[in-house]
Amino acid sequence: MQFTAQQIAAFLGGEVVGDAQVSVSNLAKIEEGTPGTLTFLSNPLYTQYIYTTQASIVLVRRDFQPERPVTPTLIKVDDPYSSLTMLLELVNQATLGNKRGIESPAHISDSAQLPDDAYVGAFAYVGERVVVGSGVKIYPQVYVGDDVTIGDNVILYPGVKIYHGCRIGNNCIIHAGTVIGSDGFGFAPQPDGSYKKIPQIGIVIIEDNVEIGANTTIDRATMGATIIHRGVKLDNLIQLAHNVEVGENTVMAAQVGVAGSSKIGAQCMFGGQVGVAGHRRVGSHVNVGAQTGIPNDVKDNMEIMGYPAVPKIDFARQTIHVKRLPELNNTVKQLQREIEELKKLINNNN
């Protein structure tokens, strides 16, 4: 499908500079642009490529003024990155298509409630008393346990497993292999050294507009609910334990692990491989560097790094000192030698 610069500018509310009738049928990075593709310039570090790219159309900021002639047609918009996101959403919708209906074989329990516009892929299982909202897409090999509720416009990609009783809000996307509502890691030590399983009778609640990456696991609560509030974005391979709560619009990169009953505030950003100990509280608007370990509570509006987690500026100072350790070690050894020599001189004089 092809679109002209004029059509794209009208959709984005942009201004065309150049040939308004030039058309594109694909997207590309600015340094890899070819004729017939659209790209964008958002990061100033890539400005050099606008003079060499072969792309037909480039999205730029409204205040962009080229220093020398450019070949592509420019579309000036308020925010090129956000505008590109809008175009990518259109492409994604066209790629996925508007799947509807129930493929065979699939198991749909008689007591389940599915709207006419739902899609259920082959080998999917939908349990008893499940309630599914409008526009939901359940891809092949998805398991939806008994008494699960799913809101409108939810996408469950292949292999997602949602255990009994869990609740999924509207406009959520859950990627392949993710497990929602598996048992929390609860075991009581016994006098003989063994462990007795503690029944996990709670649920998982995922609110609206949450996206969860592939192969992430979110455990059900021991009692009550593990809660992922609205707007949260989780990367692949994340583990959230029983009774964890994640505040709205918090984002977490891959391999984050949050132990049981910890509470994460709103608008936080977690880098990859962050670990949070159990029963901790992390405030809102907290930025956490990759591989940080959090053994204690964290106040609002902090930037932390390292293990144990410390303010970012303290971590930077520690890193400088660590780099100087070999030099400091040599200095200490030299001082020790000089002290020994001074001791000998003093003893000889006495």
- Asked about 279 being catalytic, the answer comes back as no
From the list 242, 279, 285, 321, the catalytic residue is 242
Whether 273 and 256 have beta carbons less than 8 Å apart is answered as yes
**How many residues are given for the chain?**
350
CA distance 268 to 273: 15
Whether 262 and 282 have beta carbons less than 8 Å apart is answered as yes
Cβ contacts of 169-173, under 8 Å, gap ≥ 24: 169/206, 169/207, 169/208, 169/209, 169/210, 169/230, 170/133, 170/208, 170/209, 171/208, 171/209, 172/206, 172/208, 172/209, 172/210, 172/211, 172/212, 173/210, 173/211, 173/212
CA distance 288 to 294: 9
- Which positions are catalytic? 242
